[in-house]
Structure formats: structure tokens, C-alpha cells
């Protein structure tokens, strides 16, 4: 079984038609610059760019003209995925590993050796990698891996980290982006969200006279000004780009905004129109965070234009997990913030994992193209290495991601046999919401299997007809259910994925396929 | 004319029927304790107690069970008024003076000699008393007056100030409640709102590493705890009461909550139900502030019960101006927060000045009674002096307020000839909203006259039929308009009220009656 699975996972794309001429790869000796523009907690619908087959109310709510520009000039991925949470996604992006494989299955605490799992009455915690990613061996409870920026640095890319890092806990090497291969680090540390977005607050919010645990480091220039955090990061990132641009050195800019994560604070430059539109107060603030982020994207694109770098720079837009859908911190009705998708951040339902992804690469990517092929965040790792022309890199880990460079060249390529896997053997938060805790999932073709660790329930959805995962077809499609459960089981076993144990019995949660044949616990 | 006006202002109540027996004043030698429970920025409808003829959606939104109790056990004033803004109201309460008379016509800056007037293109600022109230002579730009707590202290009342003072700017004697006659001061200073309601924040929100200008002083005990500001003030107020209670000394507690002023922050003890009810996020927070305030009232009432002080304590509930109706900081649609009343804080329309007022005095006030007689905040001064049994007090100012003790004894008393006056020759904020700036107004009987300083427009409303001030009857009732304009003019002249001048001509804004007969400027 493992053999055939490997085959499924590693088989290539099938090309329904030959690549179009205008999407053919360029032959150039100049290595392209690469920008990964990563947003935090941005949902699939938090944009005026429609990623679904129809324009939604949420698309009409948000104003992201620069994302619209990027979509117009590049390719839109309608089925791009991350993991349900931030550190797991970021670790996958930096290592090419699936979450079940790297075992950073929950967000990492800024404090070392601290599990962020919320206590549960049914299941025991697993010994996941609570300290995150490590570039060196011997650090307790980390995944030791070769990182993307380290590989790029070795090949003379000028690597810049700007914004939220959140790769590892304080006191471990992974907490500092410079230890992960970034030459420059702007405002990145072990923290997972800012204490404040306001320069007036120094991006801090002291507690009992001490700096907030989540005070954003390193932006002292903007302290006491009215410069919003998103803007400060952008300005510093552009300043940092001047060095490689001047030296004609290829660069890798990883601009990972703190926006649009909580605290949901108004970006005063943009909030008025949302309030006037009658939006819920918190949702208006959220929309202003989104538009502030989009303005940053616009500034980056304008910089590339001004520097005549547009043609030789790959710009990749991505978010790290689904939009937050718990209230508070969000406004409105809980779990409606990602409609038509179900639930949001933390969940293995589509609302928690489907992302707005765009890639522009003039001359390679056809302007205004769309691909419906599903991809996942660990795919960025091999793709970027390939774009950078790095041959046979020395990588200690066995990479799970697959290059989507062929898709950039031909968005019509299809592979419906590939299986994507999500694994979250953790309890994220106190609130109970559909599959925001203790869950695994798999997608193959249009089919989606979700597995609830606590109840042993397996659900089956056909995403083509039912993107909202409302019609559980497990009863109607027992053969499909069985085959996907076997596929998920085999993949999890292959990665030696961690399964929680029941408090009552001490027994581990069964593998998905076993949940089918045995009575439910 | 001045003579007849004086007659109008000082004529007594007419009694349509004899006072009821159970509302007769008690003969007792023990002087009653007096509690003024003053809320900040609370609107007339921010309560589950209906103050209008019908229950409103807002009444259904808010949960104030302890106000309901107070209404059940005391008298409800359906036509109680304050001024449109905080310091003006507080100065009137402490001095018995009308706002046009004391000339603290806008909120006072925490900083000395600083006008808070927003720059205007049409009118020049007046030389109002920007430093607020002063207990001593010779302080620039203050109203020097004998204060209520000073008079009570002289008569051996144990006087406690808890919460927001905001009587005068820092560096002037009026900034410290102790200088105004309070024996105890809990958390009161020159500030007009808290930097934060959270103990976790130390009720502060540092700016550039320095304490916030609006950090709440004196509650160090609660720093670093999860005690909400409203709760901390209540606990400290009750602790302070133990002294006079133990010594059997009559007390005057002025518990002036910072709630429900901005910053609109969630009181976590109460917010969930409002979010679940689907309220706008900010409005849910606001409702939680309101309920936290109501819980404080409940704690005060419970303390009186436990100490067997209920029968000998007068509890007066009041707010200092209408509910804030600008968005942001409020959520929802601007100027709907005080419906059925028009506009809100800052305006001389009813939304800015009508207040939820309740008074309980067992044995004197008939439980569950209602009075529709209009009263105004300067009336608290002579009323409280009379309740305290202070005969012929030495007061340097000529008091404008009138005792409502007769109304407490007989809520059916009516005086439709009395004229109430509002005067706001200031620009409060940048936002333009109906009569939130540069306005005067008068009420007599059911009639309301409003005067727009900038345009010279006079509007006339009949509040009995039109509480929302939607039908301007100025054209239909020229005689009524003329007589009220004359009444307002004479009263303003009598107080030598300040009128702004036009930037263009240097000429003062005309008196209301002159605006009728001359072409509009």
C-alpha cells in the first residue's frame, strides 16, 4: 500500500493540452528576484478578487485593488491551501514539509517549552514540536530542517525577512530569522501577533509597566508617529531592497505582514468607507487592516515598476491560514466570515485552510490566468528553489511539497490523484467549533475527507458541488470513504504522525481507516 | 422684561392634587445619607428602564436590572436634563449654576489654559472658562464658586468622591476633588476619560513609554488584576463608606463612573450575551460597559441593605450628557444611538441633553412613581442642600437651580412656566452633526426652541407630540417662536452669556430674538 501511495503522491501533472506559447519559460541567465508576500490570518474571501466561481458579498465588502492588479497580471490559484494555523504553515513554507511530518502542529508559544494546547477533557496532548523550527540539531522539541532562506543565501540571494516570523520560541535559534538564513530581519521574532498596530503605541501595549510580550521589536524609527505597523514594515522592506537592487544581486523578500491578525485595530487611512457602508464596527476595522495590507502590496509593486524589476521578479501572494471566524475577536455572526467556506482559522474545513494565492511572473505566467489545481503551502519550498535555479540542494529533510512551476507555466495542468493532508492533533482554543481541534483531513480530486479525533467520525464531501461542506456523503459513498480513509491512514503512518490518546483509556485515537471498521469510541 | 422673567423662573410648582399621604416628608432628626450615582456619557435610552411612553428597541437591548430596582423603589424622572457635555454638567451640579452663567461651556482640557474648542471657519471662540471650576478666587478662566461638597462637609457630612472628577485643569485647585470639599478622593483628577478600563493595563495606555495623559490615578491595588475600572471604583467607594457608617456620620457619596465614556472596551463579565444577540461589536462592548455600571449600582444598593442604611439614604441616579452618537467611536449608524431622541452628546437636541434620572428615598419618595416635570442638573445643588437640612448656606454665587424636593414628595406637581436654558457657544468636535456646536436652546412647557449660532436659524418643536424634534413648527407658530426667542434672549442677557463673533465681520452672533427680525447672516 505504501508503494502505491508513494506513486500517487509523486506522480506528475497530466497535461490536457500543450502549454501555450506565451507561457513558455524564458531563457535568461539573470536569476529572478522572489517575493513572498504572506498575510496573517487572511481568509479566502477577504479580498475584492473573487477566488470562487462567483463574486460574493465578502468580495464586494473588501477593497484590494492591488491584489486585483496582481490577479490581472499573474495567475490566480483558486484551490490553494495552507494549514489551519500560523506556525505550522510557516514551518511548511520554510522546510517543504507537511505539518504531520514536521510535527509543529499548533502555534508556538513565544515562551520556550510551552505547549499552547488548550486543556481538553477527552484527549491527552501529543508531544508535538512546541519550540517550532530549528536550523540546528539538538534543540528540544523542534523540527531540525534545512530552511529555504538558508538555501537561497548559499546561492547568493540577498534574503530579507520583514514582519512576523513566529518560527520558534524565544531562547531557541529558530526565534531569530537571521539564524534561519535571512540576512536582514525587520521586526521578526518569536511573537505571533503584534501588541498594537499603532506607532503611537510604539507597537506595544505595556502590561503592568512592562513591555507587552507581543511588543513588535525593531521599529523604533516609527515610535511615537502615526505610522501603522503595516506601513512601517513596507517602508523598511523597501529600504532593505535598495541594497541588493543597487548591487544587482538577486533577492528573496519574505514580507510576512502581522496584518490581518488580532488585535483588530482600525487603520485610519481606510476605515471610513467601511463604517459608512454600515459594516459591524469590528468588521470595519478588519476591512481597514485588509486594505492597509493591500496598500503595502501596491507599494511593493510600484517599487518594482520604478526600479524596472517587474519583469524579473516573481511575486507570490499567500495567506497562512483561514480567516478568524470566532467572535469575539471577529464581529458579526460566528463562522460566517469565510462564506461560502465552512468555519475558519483552526479548522480543517475549507474555511480554515483555503487561501487567496496569486503569482506574477511576467513572461512565464500568463497574465490574468487561473488555475484550479490544488496546491499546498509546502509546495512553495521546492517551487522557489526551482525558480531560483538551485539544482540538487543539500536538504536534510525529505521534502513533501511539490513544485508548482509547471502550473505557473501552464495553469491548465491537472492532477486529481494527488492527496493533500492536514493533521491537527491539538486543541487550539477553549471555544468549541466544528473541527477547530483534534482533526485530520485529506483532499484528493474533488473529494475531501475529514476525521474528528474525539468522536472517530469521518465525513466525506464533494467540493466541486459542495464547497461549503454541508452534504456529508459518507453514508452514500462508502467505497470512496474507505479508499480516502486508507489513503489518509497510510500517509499519516508514513510520516509517523502523532495521534492523541484518550484520557479515559490511554489508547491512541484510531487511524482513520480503523475508525470505519471498529465501533466508534 | 427681566422682572417678569425672574417671576417665571422662580415661581413655584402648582399642585394639581394634594400630596399623597405615603409621600409625606418624614420627621427625623437623623440627617439622610446622600448618594449621587453619576454615569458618564450615558444616553436616555441606554437602559432597560423605559423613560419614554413606550418600551424601545434600545430598552430591550440593554440590561440594567439594578436601575429597574431603583425605578421600582423610587421615582423616575422622564424629563430630566443635563448639558450636552461633561464638565459643564459637573460644574452645574457642583455649583447650582446654569452653564451660560458659569461659562464652563465646553469640556475642560486636562492641561491648563487650553481651549478644547475645535477650530471653526465661521465663528471665533469665546473666552469661556477653559480651566473649569475653582473653589478659590484669582484663578484665571475659572468659575469661582462655593461647591456642594464643601457645604456638606461644613455640616459634618463625610464627603467621598469616587471616579471621574474633571472639574478643572491640572495646575488649578479645581483639578483635585479634595480642594472642592471632598474628604476622600478615589481616582479623580483633571482627566475626562480613562486611558483604559482594564486592571491588566493598570488603567493606563502608555504613549511612547510615558504614562497616558488619561491614565487613571490612585488604583494601584488593582494594577495587574482583571478588575474592570467600574468594579474597582465601586469596591473602593464601598470601602470608603465604612468609615462614616462605623462612626454614624452622615455621608455624601459622589460616585461618578468613568463608564460609559470612550474608550469603548468590553467588560468581559457581561459582553457575551450582547454578542450572541448579534449586536454590532462596538455596541456590544458599549452594552457591557452599561451593564458593568449597573452592577456597580446593584453593589451599592446591596451594601445599603446589608448596613441597614437603605431607609435613610437618598440615592440619585443621573448621567452627565446624552449618549455619544458619532461613529466611530460608537458603532452602527451615526446618531441613532439615542432614538427616539435626535442626535446625542454635544447637541442641544434632546439626544444630547435628556438623561435617565432616578431618585430613591424610602418614606419620602413613593415607590414606583413617575414624574414628567422637567428638571435640570443644576437643580441637584439646592435639592441636596435642602435634603441635608442646610439652612441659609453661605454661597457666593447666585444659584440658578431649583429644588426638586417637592417633586420627590409629590411627583404629580407641575410647572409648565419654568424655562430651562442650554448654551454652547463652542465647537465641540471636527465632525459636523446637527447642533453639536454653536447652539443655544430653551424649553418651556412642551415647547423647545433651538438656536443655531452660525446660521441664525431658530427651530421650534413641540416635545409632547414630537420628542424626536422632526417637525419644525417655527413657520406655523410665529407667536410662540417669538415669545420663546425673547425668553431665551432675556435669560442669556441676564447671565451675560458669551456669544461668539463672526470671523468675517467681527460682529457677535445676534441674540435669538434679533435673529427673528433681522435678515439672517
Evaluate whether the domain defined by B419-517 bears CATH number 3.40.50.300. no
Q: Which residue of B has its CA nearest to A202?
A: B208
- Taking only the tens place, the pLDDT of each residue in A305-352 is 999 999 999 999 999 999 999 999 999 999 999 999 999 999 999 999
CA distance A83 to A106: 10
- Percent of chain A residues past pLDDT 70, beyond the cut: 94
pLDDT for position A478: 95
Q: What is the pLDDT of residue B16?
A: 43
The proportion of chain B whose per-residue pLDDT surpasses 70, expressed as a percent, equals: 94
A21 pLDDT band (50/70/90 cuts)? very low
Q: Which superfamily does B32-119+126-409 belong to?
A: Alkaline Phosphatase, subunit A (3.40.720.10)
Decide the pairing of beta strands B75-81 and B375-376.
Answer: parallel
Where are the alpha helices (H) located in B76-168, listed in sequence order?
86-95, 99-102, 148-154
Yes or no, beta carbons of A281 and B278 under 8 Å apart: no
Note the pLDDT of residue A34.
98
* Residue A421 near residue A440 (C-beta atoms within 8 A): yes
Percentage of residues in chain B with pLDDT exceeding 90? 90
**CA distance linking residue A381 with residue B126, whole number of Å:** 67
Reply yes or no on whether the pLDDT at A11 is more than 50. no
Mean pLDDT (whole number) for A98-114: 98
pLDDT for residue A86 is more than 60: yes
Q: What confidence score (pLDDT) does residue A432 get? A: 84
What value does the mean pLDDT of chain B take? 93
Geometric angle at alpha carbon A217, from B264 and A129, rounded to 5°: 95
Q: Within chain A, which residue ranges are assigned CATH 3.40.720.10?
A: 28-409
Quick: pLDDT tens for B306-335: 999 999 999 999 999 999 999 999 999 999
Class of residue A348 by CB neighbours under 10 A (exposed 0-12, middle 13-18, buried 19+): buried
**What is the Cα B388 distance to its own chain's centre?**
21
| Tens digits of residue pLDDT in A425-469 | 999 999 888 888 999 999 999 999 999 999 999 999 999 999 999
3 state SS of A17 = coil
How far apart are alpha carbons B56 and B54 in whole angstroms? 6
Residues in chain A with CB shorter than 8 Å from the CB of B328 are 266, 271, 275, 281
Mean pLDDT of B84-108: 98
Q: Where in chain B is the domain with CATH 3.40.720.10?
A: 32-119+126-409
CATH superfamily for domain A28-409: Alkaline Phosphatase, subunit A (3.40.720.10)
| pLDDT level of residue B13 (50, 70, 90 thresholds) | low
pLDDT of residue A15: 43
Tell me whether residue A138 is exposed, middle or buried, using C-beta atoms within 10 angstroms of its C-beta: 0 to 12, 13 to 18, 19 or more. exposed
* Residue A134 phi, psi (nearest 5): -130, 135
Q: ipTM score of the complex?
A: 0.77
A205: contact with B, CB 8 A cutoff: yes
Mutation pick from B195, B281, B335 vs chain A, by most beta carbons of A within 10 Å, is B281
Average pLDDT of the segment spanning B269-274: 96
State the pairing for strand pair A33-39/A313-319: parallel
Other CB atoms within a 10 A radius of the CB of residue B255 amount to 26
**∠ CA B156-B161-B167 to the nearest 5 degrees?**
115
* Chain A residues closer than 8 Å to B202 by CB: 208-209
A38-47, B23-32, B236-245, B278-287: segment of lowest average pLDDT: B23-32
Flag whether pLDDT at A1 surpasses 70: no
> Please, which residues have CB within 8 angstroms of residue B93's CB and are 6 or more apart in sequence?
B36, B38, B148, B318, B377, B378, B380, B381
Q: Cβ contacts (< 8 Å) between A222 and chain B: which residues? A: none
Residues of chain A with CATH 3.30.1120.10: 419-517
Which pLDDT value is given to residue B22?
A: 45
Banded pLDDT at A20 (limits 50, 70, 90): very low
On average, the pLDDT of chain A sits at 93
Mean pLDDT of all residues in B4-19: 41
CB contact under 8 A, A328 and B200: no
Q: How far off is chain A from B221, nearest CA to CA, in Å?
A: 12
Whether A383 shows a pLDDT value over 90: the answer reads yes
Confidence of residue A518 (pLDDT cuts 50, 70, 90): low
Mean pLDDT check: name the lowest of A20-34, A414-428, B237-251.
Answer: A20-34
Q: How confident is the model at residue B30 (pLDDT cuts 50, 70, 90)?
A: confident
- Dump pLDDT digits (tens) for B410-426: 999 999 999 999 999 99
Residue B141: predicted pLDDT = 97
Residues in chain B: 521
- Whether the CB of B287 is below 8 Å from some CB of chain A: the reply is no
Amino acid at each position: 500500500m505504501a508503494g502505491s501511495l508513494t506513486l500517487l503522491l509523486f506522480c506528475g501533472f497530466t497535461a490536457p493540452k500543450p502549454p501555450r506559447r506565451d507561457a513558455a519559460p524564458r531563457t535568461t541567465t539573470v536569476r529572478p528576484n522572489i517575493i513572498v508576500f504572506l498575510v496573517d490570518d487572511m481568509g479566502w474571501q477577504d479580498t475584492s478578487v473573487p477566488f470562487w466561481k462567483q463574486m460574493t458579498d465578502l468580495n464586494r465588502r473588501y477593497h484590494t485593488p492591488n491584489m486585483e492588479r496582481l490577479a490581472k497580471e499573474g495567475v490566480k490559484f483558486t484551490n490553494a491551501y495552507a494549514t489551519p494555523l500560523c506556525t505550522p504553515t510557516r514551518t511548511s513554507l520554510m522546510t517543504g514539509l507537511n505539518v504531520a511530518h514536521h510535527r509543529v502542529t499548533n502555534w508556538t508559544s513565544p515562551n520556550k517549552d510551552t505547549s499552547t494546547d488548550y486543556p481538553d477533557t477527552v484527549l491527552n496532548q501529543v508531544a508535538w514540536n512546541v519550540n517550532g523550527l530549528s536550523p540546528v540539531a539538538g534543540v528540544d522539541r523542534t523540527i531540525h530542517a534545512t530552511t529555504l532562506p538558508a538555501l537561497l543565501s548559499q546561492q547568493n540571494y540577498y534574503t530579507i525577512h520583514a514582519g512576523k516570523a513566529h518560527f520558534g520560541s524565544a531562547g531557541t535559534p529558530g526565534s531569530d530569522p537571521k539564524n534561519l538564513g535571512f540576512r536582514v530581519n525587520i521586526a521578526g521574532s518569536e511573537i505571533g501577533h503584534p501588541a498594537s498596530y499603532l506607532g503611537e503605541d510604539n507597537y506595544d501595549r505595556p502590561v503592568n509597566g512592562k513591555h507587552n510580550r507581543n511588543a513588535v521589536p525593531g521599529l523604533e524609527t516609527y515610535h511615537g508617529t502615526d505610522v501603522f505597523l503595516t506601513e512601517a514594515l513596507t517602508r523598511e522592506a523597501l529600504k532593505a531592497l535598495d541594497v541588493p537592487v543597487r548591487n544587482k544581486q538577486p533577492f528573496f523578500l519574505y514580507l510576512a505582514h502581522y496584518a490581518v491578525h488580532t488585535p483588530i485595530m482600525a487603520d485610519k487611512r481606510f476605515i471610513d468607507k467601511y463604517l459608512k457602508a454600515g459594516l459591524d464596527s469590528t468588521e470595519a476595522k478588519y476591512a481597514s487592516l485588509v486594505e492597509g495590507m493591500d496598500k503595502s502590496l501596491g507599494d511593493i509593486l510600484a517599487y518594482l515598476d520604478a526600479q524596472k524589476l517587474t519583469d524579473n521578479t516573481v511575486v507570490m501572494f499567500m495567506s497562512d491560514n483561514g480567516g478568524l471566524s470566532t467572535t469575539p475577536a471577529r464581529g458579526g455572526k460566528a463562522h460566517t466570515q469565510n462564506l461560502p467556506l465552512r468555519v475558519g482559522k483552526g479548522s480543517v474545513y475549507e474555511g480554515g485552510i483555503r487561501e487567496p494565492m496569486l503569482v506574477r511572473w511576467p513572461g512565464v505566467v500568463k497574465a490574468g490566468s487561473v488555475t484550479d489545481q490544488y496546491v499546498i503551502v509546502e509546495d512553495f519550498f521546492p517551487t522557489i528553489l526551482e525558480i531560483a535555479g538551485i539544482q540538487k540542494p543539500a536538504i536534510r529533510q525529505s521534502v513533501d511539497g511539490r513544485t508548482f512551476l509547471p502550473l505557473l507555466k501552464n495553469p491548465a495542468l491537472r492532477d486529481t490523484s494527488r492527496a493533500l493532508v492536514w493533521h491537527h492533533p491539538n486543541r487550539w482554543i477553549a471555544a468549541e467549533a466544528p473541527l477547530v481541534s483534534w482533526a485530520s483531513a485529506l483532499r484528493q480530486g474533488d473529494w475531501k475527507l475529514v476525521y474528528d479525533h474525539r468522536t472517530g467520525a469521518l465525513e466525506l464531501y464533494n467540493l466541486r458541488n459542495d464547497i461549503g461542506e454541508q452534504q456529508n456523503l459518507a453514508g452514500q459513498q462508502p467505497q470512496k470513504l474507505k479508499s480516502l480513509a486508507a489513503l489518509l491512514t497510510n500517509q499519516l503512518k508514513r510520516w509517523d504522525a502523532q495521534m492523541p490518546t484518550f484520557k479515559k483509556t490511554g489508547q491512541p485515537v484510531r487511524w482513520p481507516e480503523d475508525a470505519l471498521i471498529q465501533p466508534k469510541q
